[in-house]
């Protein structure tokens, strides 16, 4: 995570950490937003998240990524999806596409999809996805 934060000057002021939930198992990784010394946009937070996913997308397999704020878990993400996002971001996939489709892959702590998968006309779908992205980042990072 330190490497991801250091690779881009726009990441300055964002404190994030990543660690295994248990010292005895690598099934769950926790990605925690630990603070912000200056205001950050949802795009800033998601960019660091993608940069970190890129750095570990080919490393140890894990089942779940727990998204936390100050160590308190707020959301879950399947490990396979997290690695897929890292590989796609590294390969040059459009970050706006990755960002707006991220919330539909996020689960609450009971394992239920936290945000819907939208269908319909492109303009309406993109609008709903961007609203979900902003809501997701606010709930994860700012509340």
- What's the pTM? 0.89
CA distance 63 to 44: 26
Domain range summary for the chain, segments of one domain joined by +: 2-142
The pLDDT tens digits for 60-118 are: 778 999 999 998 999 999 999 999 999 999 999 999 999 999 999 999 999 999 999 99
User: E strands, 38-120, where?
Assistant: 64-69, 72-78, 106-107
CA distance 49 to 33: 10
């Amino acid at each position: 995570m330190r490497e991801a934060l250091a690779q881009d000057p726009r990441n300055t002021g964002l404190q994030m950490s990543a660690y295994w939930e248990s010292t005895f198992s690598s099934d769950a990784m926790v990605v925690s937003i630990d603070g912000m010394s200056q205001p950050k946009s949802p795009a800033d937070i998601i960019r660091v998240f993608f940069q970190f996913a890129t750095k570990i997308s080919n490393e140890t397999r894990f089942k779940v990524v727990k998204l936390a704020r100050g160590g308190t878990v707020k959301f879950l993400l399947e490990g396979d999806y997290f690695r897929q996002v890292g590989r796609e971001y590294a390969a040059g996939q459009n970050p706006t596409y990755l960002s707006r489709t991220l919330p539909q892959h996020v689960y609450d702590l009971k394992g239920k999809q936290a945000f819907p998968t939208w269908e319909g006309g492109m303009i309406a779908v993109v609008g709903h996805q961007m609203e979900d992205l902003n809501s997701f980042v606010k709930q994860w990072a700012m509340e």
